[in-house]
Amino acid sequence: MSEQDVKTIIKNSDPHKILTESPGWTVDFVIKFFQSQLYRDIVFYTKIIFVFLSCILFYAIVLLYIKSEPVKRFRKYYKGTAIKDMPKGKTQRAWNKVQKRLATMHEAEYKMAVIEAEKIFDNILLMIGYKGNTLGDRLKTIKKEQLQSLDEVWSAHKVRNRIVHNPDEKISLSEAQEAVGKFEMGIEELIEFDL
């Protein structure tokens, strides 16, 4: 039988018929393929690709989860309030003004230092997302686990209230420095950098 005759038979034959008439050849081919080094290499490299893709997908899922709103709320409610993306330069400049007021040794200036220190603290709470009409309202929504210096901030807030509600109230420099220091503790805890 010539090569031309084989081509003609294959051309005129039904492929399904060829496979069913010679099942031994097909089964042998499949068995040999699954036992071959080529098959083992395909499986090995496929595993590597899927492990790599799984790592990328796992990283993406974790990243999306961390950035999700429920996690932000959980962090704020259970873990604390600290945020890292505060405008540090602006906060630092405002705090430097507070320090300059304390250094003047004039009662009116260090009263203003207490008021401004509280304003900085309050603005940070607003940026974090605490609700309330006043700082007092916002402080009531904070738990001690969220802000370790909560009692100190309340104490400084009371000093500020005395200054604002009674302008003739006398406060000493040391009392003003103490109140500003307590606001500083709260601010540094909230924004995670030293003033």
DSSP per-residue string spanning 115-149? HHHHHHHHHHHHHHT---SSHHHHHHT--TTT-TT
| Structure tokens, 145 | 């686990």
Inter-residue contact 86 to 101 (CB < 8 Å) = no
Pairwise CA distance, residues 32 & 41, whole Å? 14
91 has pLDDT over 90: no
Q: What is the pLDDT of residues 11-39, one digit of tens each?
A: 655 555 555 555 556 777 777 878 888 88
Angstrom distances, CA of residue 187 to CA of 77, 86, 158, 181: 18, 11, 17, 10
* Domains (range + CATH), the chain: 3-79 (no CATH), 88-191 (1.20.120)
Higher-pLDDT residue of 102, 194: 102
* Range 76-98 average pLDDT: 68
The tokens for 170 are 């006398």
Q: Mean pLDDT throughout 103-114? A: 90
pLDDT exceeds 80 at position 87: no
Measuring CA to CA, which residue among 156, 146, 150 is closest to residue 118? 156
What is the pLDDT confidence band of residue 90, given thresholds at 50, 70 and 90?
A: confident
Q: Which residue has 């499986």 as its token pair?
A: 43
Average pLDDT rounded to a whole number, residues 134-138:
90
Candidates 106, 187, 123, 125; CA nearest to 152 is: 187
Comparing 81 with 70, the larger pLDDT belongs to 70
Q: How far apart are CA 101 and CA 183, in angstroms?
A: 15
Average pLDDT over residues 65-82: 60
